[in-house]
Each structure stands twice: as C-alpha cells, then as structure tokens.
Structure 1
Amino acid sequence: MVKMNNTKDLEKLHEKHLQYRSRCLNLIASENYSTPKVRSYLASDFGNRYGCYETLKPEEREYTGNRYIHEFEMATHDLVRDVFKADYVDLRPIGGHMAGMATVLGLTDPGDLVFEVSMADWGHGLVGPMRTIEHLEKTIRVKNLPYDHNQKLEVEKAVEMIDAYKPRLIIFGGSGTLFADPIKEIMNRTRHLDETFFAYDASHVTGLIAGGVFKNPLDQGVDIVFGSTHKSFPGPQGGMILSRKEKPFRLVGDALSPALVTSHHLNRLPAFAASLLEMKEYGHDYSKQVIRNARRLGAELDKRGIKVIAAEEGYTDSHILLIDVDEFGSSREISTGLEEDNILLSDDFGQSGREIRLGTPEITRRGMKENDMVAVADILAKGIKGEISGEELRERVAELVGKFDSFEYGFPGRASEDFSG
C-alpha cells in the first residue's frame, strides 16, 4: 500500500491514475468525462461553506455569509428548470441514491408498499438495500415491477399488480434502462388509485433527458424525478430532485433535510452549472451521438457472436447496452479479466452472473462516432472470447484510445475565462 507523506506523493499517485485512465477504453455506463473547464470549478471557495435552508425557503439561510451563494444556487436552479422543464428543483442530495432514499422516506408511511425495478432487471437497488437496515425492513414493504427478456416493462402485468396491491409509491427506471417506460399509459389506467405516488429514477438517463432525446418523465405526469448529475449527464457527481407538483416535492425535500443531509457540498454547484450550460449548447448533438454509438456497437457485437439483449428491438434507445456472456464465462470473471487489459465494464452486480452492461457516454465525449464502434466491438468481442493475448489486447486498446485524447460537446478553455455562458 502506497503511503502519502507529502504532496509530492499525492501528486505522483494522482498522476498514475491519470496516465492509467488515459490508456483505458471506458465503457462503464455510470461514468462520463467532464471537460477541464467544468472540473476546474470544483476548486471553488464554495467547498468550505455551508448553505443550509428549508425546502421551500431557500432564501432563509441558516448560516450567514450566503449572500452570493444563494444567488448562485438560485441561478443554478433556474438552469435546471430550463434544461429539465421542472417547476421545483432541489440540488441538496449529494448523490442520486440519496435523492431516491429521500423520495421513499418522504412519500411513504410505515407499512406502505413500494414497487421498484429489481436488481435482477437492472434496477438501482434502492428500497432493497434500504431494507437491510432492520427498522426499515420492518416499516417498508417492496415488490418488483415486471420486465420481459428484452428489458421492457410488461404493461398488462404491471397494471394488474398495481390494481391488486395498491402500492403507495411506484418507482420506474433503473441502472439498465434500454427503453423508456410507458408511464403515461400506466398512470392513465390506474387513475382510480389517487393515493399512489409515481416517481422516476432518472439517474442513468438525465443527460439524454436534458438533450431532448429520451422521454421526460415529468411530461408523462410523474410526481417526482430523482437522479444523478453525472453518468449520461457529464457533470460532477451529485444528485437532484425535480417536480412540477409542490406537495410531493415538499414531502421529499423535508425528508431529505435535515435527516439525510445538512451541508449539501456546495463545491458541486459551479461545476454543475457549467455542465448545464454545456448541455444547453451541445446536449442535443451529444445525446443523439451517444445513442447512435450504442446502437452501432450493439449491431457490431451481434455480428461477432456476442449476444446483445433486445437485438430484435433495435438494442437500445439509451446510452446502455446489455450483453449476455454466459457461454464465455461469468460476467464477473470476464469484466475483471478485461480490466487487466484496460477495458472497463460493469457486470450485473452478482445477480445472474451472465450479463454485462456497456455504456457509450465517455467514449462519445472523447470524440468516437459510429464507425469507431467497429474497432470497439472487435476489441471487446475478441477479449470476451479470449481470441487474442492480453498483451495484444492492451496494445489495440492503447492504439484506439490514443486517437481520442481530447473531448467534444463541451466548452474549451479554462475557468479563468468569463463564465457568462
């Protein structure tokens, strides 16, 4: 284990990480590449300050010295409202998972039933992990929404389940979202359940929603959207809560703070604001290219004998592909093995042991287009099948990623330049 005795040690270790990642082909769907300008704003003085406030009273700060922090935070809220077409915005969650926890705790009472996407169907595993805490296991009940083999929500079964069990909260969305759920149809068919809240976990697709290429769940009528400010969205790590309805928004916000978060890590805000401005300018083109790359990668893998989930449905409408590698080994063995060859993937978190998730956000930001997916697929297929040596695989990865050492769909320059957007 490396020890850090001084800042030179720190810098050396950090440089090792940067050099290592520069040689990697990153297909992790939950990661992205923030531009140097966005990342430079993380050095803001905001990182040492407190901006605590009540949910619907952001102007009444608990700490003094918030004059311009408040102004900046409200301006960032306005950007979020514009980009995501929301009326109410909360940026206090320091992650998408925390935003989801607040949604569950705010919209349910002890003993209530929650429907969510199971981990086996690439859900985020929100309520399930919460119930590993004993008193939450005793107070929150959970059932899983039905999905078919193509990772599409089974509408008739879902409606039957909702009618039968009358859940208090239904959470759509997850970590393996290939297609938009028909939320509006389901809500129209269950309007008689006027005490049921509908939420959407947009953690993976926030960037595609912002880019206008994936259905906005707010347009479909959900009460709450929660999610991450990274993943397909190329901002700093963090979370957010969005709504067009005051009551559920207040309930969730009041569950979030002060129980789950007080100081909400203000250093994220300038970098997030910069990424929002980037998305306003480049987001539509970026998001379209992300999906084009994912679909082409799916088709090229299919040609090479890799089983791609939902091939008959066009592979995906998002940044994600799911592949079944069972005939070549377990998903964990393959993903960890390819990591040694500088190919970064994520498996199915120990569920089936046969699926791997791929994502195209970072390689798209690095400048790859559809034709480059031929080389990506060839490298990946040969690696999964073990057709070439690790040394040759690493050489091919280095040659490919070496052609894409810059970025697209973002602001050039440094933070010292004018931040007028």
Structure 2
Amino acid sequence: MLKSTRDIDNLLKKHENYRESCLNLIASENYASNKVRSYLSCDFGNRYGCYVTENPQEREYTGNKYIYEFEMATQELVKDIFKAKYADLRPISGHMAGMSVVLALLEPGDLVIEVHLKDWGHGLVGPMCQIRQFNETIDVKYMDFNEDRAVDIEKLKVQVKELKPKLVIMGGSGTIFAEPVKEVRELADEYGFLIAYDASHVTGLIASGVFPNPLNEGAHIMFGSTHKSFPGPQGGFVVSNNEELIFNVGNTISPSLVTSHHLNRLPALATSILEMKKFGNDYGKQIVKNSKALAVSLEKYGFNVLGKNRGFTDTHLLLIDLGDIIDIAPAQYLEKAGILCSDDFSGNSTEVRIGTPEVTRRGMKEKDMETIALFFKRILLDKEPAELVSKDVEQFNRQFLGTEYSF
C-alpha cells in the first residue's frame, strides 16, 4: 500500500532501476528525451481544450487563449511531417484514433477488411466486435499474408471483388515490409471502398523518410500513435488529405469518445516532432540498419527469422518463429534473462516480435546487434540459466543509458 510520497518515489525508483537493467526490444515502446518528458508536467495537464471540429477556435471552456494557439501550431507540425492537409490530435491513443476512423466511416451493416491478430494485426475491429453493439452493426473479415509476412495482393483482389467492403485497413503491429498501398488504391477506385492505414508502428519511420508515406501511396486516411518508432509521448492522431473524412472523424472523436484530450502531451509531441525534423533521417536509417543486422545475426545462430526471401525486414522490427525451441510463453521466459520483447498477440503461434527503436535511441549500432543475438542464443538455444544471462544483459545494457538523436 502507498502511504506516502516516499513509497511512490521508492517504487518508481525500483521501476527505473529494473528497466535500466533490461534490454528493451519491445517494438511498441521507445525512450523519449528528457526535454520531451519535461513538458508532460506543464500546466496544460490540468486544463480542458474541448471543441467541435468545425470551429476549433470556439472552445467549450474559457482560458484557452494560448492552448488554442499551441494546439493549432502543433497540428501544423503534424501535417507537415506527415505531408497531410488535415490533422486531428484529439485521440489520446493510437487505438482510439483507429476506433474513431472505423466508427466515422462505416454505416451499420458495412464490411471492413483488416489484418488479423495472428498476422500481427493491431486488433482493432475484431476486438471491437466482441462488444455486442459493434458486433451487430460491423462485419469484419481478414486479409491473407504470404510466407514472408507480406500482404497477398492477389488474394486481396479476389476478396474485395467478392465481399465488396466499405473499408480496408492496412498496417499493423508486425509490419516488416511496406504494404502494396498503391495497388490496393487501384482496387479501391474500381470497387468503391476506402483505405485507412494504421501507421501506429511506423510513424517514426514515415517521419524519418525511410518508409513510404501511405497518404502519398493512396491511403484516404491514416491514423497512429506517437510513441513507438516515433519517440514522443503516448498519444494518437488522424491525418488525411480529404476534408470530409477528417471532419467526420473529428465529429466522432468528440464528444462521443474524447472530451478532455490530455493537452499536456501536445508540447511534448511538438518537441519530439522538432527532434525528428532535425535528427529523424539519421535515426530512422540507423533503426533499419540495426533491425537488419540483428536479423542476420539471429539467422546465423540458427533462428528462423521470417521474411528471409526479402531481406528479413525494412522496418524497426523483425519476427522470429521459435517453433519447438521453447514450450512456454517466450516473452515471459526471455524477461527472466532481462530481455523484453513481445509474444504473438493472437496467442496461437510461437512467433516473437523484436524491435530496435529504443536500443537505437540509446546509442546501439550494428556491432551491438551481434551481442544481442548472442544473448538470444545463450538463453534459447544453449539453455543457459536465465539468472546468468541476465547479469551479462544488465552489464551490457548499462553501457547505453544516454539518449541520441535528441535535443
């Protein structure tokens, strides 16, 4: 039980010490700079900035004179870095941003095609339909992937022709290659559906210029989060070049999903965008270099790294299939050795997702990926005791507690 602020301080200190001892390869996490973190405690955190989409300058609460100015200026930064005409920053998470897009663009009875959890989808519409009201109004199907974890475009062509969806959602939490958005846009124009792109995982790579911008490729609307490959505060956004779509999404976001949209994240987000403008291209390139180097090293040691026929990965993450190497939850077992990563979210496969955003941000380069791969070999293939490996992991990780590519 927390009885005083000293208890709070002690528990937070334990957490910080623990995370500094661990090698963080969770693809959906990153390390924000001290400058970005400092703005999360600003006065905006206790204020309301509610507005309707049509008139963002007309706030429901008074006292918004400079909050309005700051929010609109941050919108301009977001529009600039993602090359979009319109933006909405009110979603407080990437998942909330995705929900707002789905609810804004679909009518009762419409069908949506998305990426299934088993293929490292984000679990957006499928889990939404676990709620009866959504299940009775939204029909959801799933696109197929090939053995290299790339969208099977030929099967998708057959799907859209037969099923006639209203919306196709591309992108997910296991994106290792750019999706064929241009080809899907040709199908969209022919069959009359909309394309939404879930950029939550690749926002940092898009902003860095090392991953194709889905809006430029033909997506009608894009949503995502700002804390995965993008090293900002937790939060969400929606961008589009279509005014009607962004208007409808905005009217869905507020007041039905969000009223207070956690304004203190906006100065932190603005700062992280400015960092990305200055350092992002170098950061993005190094992330991909590290991902490829880690994949090559893991494969050398005998691991089944997916996507081999296409060079393993072009993003901030890689996928390995452990097969019968381990018969318990891999991520929990690896955590005992101080290695943090993610199991397959469907719970039905032996795949593990490994991400490089944070270790890159902390200063690791290609040569360090060989060391990381060796840790995986020792714990999973050589079956060394986890407590022995964890000591070496901690000693290695504590060499990289700085923050690069930042102010």
TM bucket normalised to smaller: over 0.9
Matched, 1:98 2:96: yes
Q: Which residue of the other structure, out of 133, 136, 146, is the alignment partner of 1:135? A: 133
Structure 2 counterpart of 1:262, which letter? T
Matched, 1:262 2:259: yes
- For residue 164 of structure 1, give the secondary structure of its aligned residue in structure 2: helix
Matched, 1:215 2:201: no
Q: Cα deviation per residue 1:309-352 (whole Å; 9 max; x = unaligned)?
A: 0112101010010000122124x522111112211011002432
User: How far, CA to CA, are the matches of 1:38 and 1:189 in structure 2?
Assistant: 41
Q: Cα deviation per residue 1:209-241 (whole Å; 9 max; x = unaligned)?
A: 000000100101211100001100000000000
User: How far, CA to CA, are the matches of 1:136 and 1:190 in structure 2?
Assistant: 24
Structure 2 counterpart of 1:258, which letter? P
- For residue 227 of structure 1, give the secondary structure of its aligned residue in structure 2: strand
- Does the CA contact (< 8 Å) of 2:117 and 2:346 recur in 1? no
Match of 2:154 in 1: 156
Query: Structure 1, unaligned stretches of length 5 or more?
Result: 412-421
Q: Which residue of the other structure, out of 371, 387, 390, is the alignment partner of 1:394? A: 390
RMSD: 1.0
Match of 2:34 in 1: 36
Match of 1:205 in 2: 202
Structure 2 counterpart of 1:254, which letter? N
- For residue 257 of structure 2, give the secondary structure of its aligned residue in structure 1: coil
Structure 2 counterpart of 1:102, which letter? S
- Does the CA contact (< 8 Å) of 2:105 and 2:248 recur in 1? yes
Match of 1:381 in 2: 377
Match of 1:241 in 2: 238
User: How far, CA to CA, are the matches of 2:335 and 2:304 in structure 1?
Assistant: 20
Q: Cα deviation per residue 1:127-186 (whole Å; 9 max; x = unaligned)?
A: 011001011101000010111111101111111111111100110000000111111112
User: How far, CA to CA, are the matches of 2:329 and 2:110 in structure 1?
Assistant: 39
User: How far, CA to CA, are the matches of 1:134 and 1:273 in structure 2?
Assistant: 38
User: How far, CA to CA, are the matches of 1:269 and 1:386 in structure 2?
Assistant: 47
Shift of 1:386: 4.5
- For residue 184 of structure 2, give the secondary structure of its aligned residue in structure 1: helix
User: How far, CA to CA, are the matches of 2:139 and 2:211 in structure 1?
Assistant: 30
**Which deviates further from its counterpart, 154-163 or 274-283?**
154-163
Match of 1:310 in 2: 307
User: How far, CA to CA, are the matches of 2:340 and 2:147 in structure 1?
Assistant: 25
Match of 2:344 in 1: 348
- Does the CA contact (< 8 Å) of 2:336 and 2:387 recur in 1? no
- Does the CA contact (< 8 Å) of 1:163 and 1:190 recur in 2? no
TM-score, length of structure 1 as denominator length: 0.95
* Paired residues for 1:164-203 under 5 Å: 164-194=162-192, 196-203=193-200
Q: Which residue of the other structure, out of 399, 402, 408, is the alignment partner of 2:404? A: 408
Identity, % of aligned pairs? 53
- For residue 190 of structure 2, give the secondary structure of its aligned residue in structure 1: coil
TM-score, length of structure 2 as denominator length: 0.98
Q: Which residue of the other structure, out of 14, 22, 25, is the alignment partner of 2:23? A: 25
- For residue 324 of structure 2, give the secondary structure of its aligned residue in structure 1: helix
Structure 2 counterpart of 1:353, which letter? S
Match of 1:48 in 2: 46
Shift of 1:55: 1.4
Shift of 1:56: 3.0
**Which deviates further from its counterpart, 254-263 or 182-191?**
182-191
User: How far, CA to CA, are the matches of 1:244 and 1:276 in structure 2?
Assistant: 20
Match of 1:418 in 2: none
Q: Which residue of the other structure, out of 273, 277, 288, is the alignment partner of 1:276? A: 273
User: How far, CA to CA, are the matches of 1:168 and 1:265 in structure 2?
Assistant: 32
Shift of 1:7: 0.5
Q: Cα deviation per residue 1:16-74 (whole Å; 9 max; x = unaligned)?
A: 00011110000000000001111011001000000011113211111110000000111
- Does the CA contact (< 8 Å) of 2:201 and 2:228 recur in 1? yes
Q: Which residue of the other structure, out of 267, 290, 295, is the alignment partner of 2:292? A: 295
Query: Structure 2, unaligned stretches of length 5 or more?
Result: none
- Does the CA contact (< 8 Å) of 1:159 and 1:189 recur in 2? yes
User: How far, CA to CA, are the matches of 1:79 and 1:333 in structure 2?
Assistant: 41
Match of 1:6 in 2: 4
Structure 2 counterpart of 1:247, which letter? E
Number of equivalent positions: 407
- Does the CA contact (< 8 Å) of 1:45 and 1:267 recur in 2? yes
User: How far, CA to CA, are the matches of 2:262 and 2:205 in structure 1?
Assistant: 25
Q: Cα deviation per residue 1:376-415 (whole Å; 9 max; x = unaligned)?
A: 100112212253222220121012112111110001xxxx
